[in-house]
């Protein structure tokens, strides 16, 4: 299956707060789990990714955690800043070797 859902669909936080976005997928063959950020009017860009042999990966203020048993992975952003405001997409691969983009989460960080 290729169901990829994200929650929440929108998230509003105050600057400095943490934000967590969850991605649930259905294909048990998935082994690559990236997150993309798309600012308004711009192209999507990779911000962090993880492979199935690792449970967690961190890069400065962002981290990704993976629960392969439960088929979900999450994006964590700490100390949010207004420039983190964007739409975030997860895009796990499928057994057919393609990335399927999630439904997207609009993050708004208020100063």
What minimum distance in Å lies between the beta carbon of 44 and other proteins? 5
Task: Find tokens 């997207």 and name the residue.
Answer: 104
Angstrom distances, CA of residue 55 to CA of 34, 51, 58, 68, 90 = 13, 8, 11, 8, 16
Of 10-18, 19-27, 69-77, 97-105, the window that binds other proteins (rule: CB under 8 A) is 97-105
According to CB under 8 A, which one of 24, 34, 73, 84 is a site residue for other proteins?
Answer: 34
45 binds other proteins (CB under 8 A): yes
Using CA atoms, how far apart are residues 93 and 35, in angstroms rounded to an integer?
12
The site for other proteins (CB under 8 A) is made up of: 32, 34, 36, 38, 42-46, 49, 87, 89, 91, 93, 96-101, 103-104
């Amino acid at each position: 299956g290729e169901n990829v859902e994200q929650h929440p669909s929108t998230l509003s936080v105050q600057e400095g707060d943490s934000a967590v976005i969850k991605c649930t997928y259905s294909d048990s063959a998935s082994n690559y789990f990236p997150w993309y950020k798309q600012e308004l009017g711009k192209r999507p860009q990779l911000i962090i990714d993880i492979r199935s042999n690792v449970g967690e990966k961190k890069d400065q203020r962002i981290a990704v955690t993976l629960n392969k048993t439960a088929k979900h992975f999450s994006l964590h952003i700490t100390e949010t800043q207004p420039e983190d405001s964007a739409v975030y997409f997860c895009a796990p691969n499928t057994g057919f070797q393609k990335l399927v983009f999630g439904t997207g989460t609009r993050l708004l960080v208020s100063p």
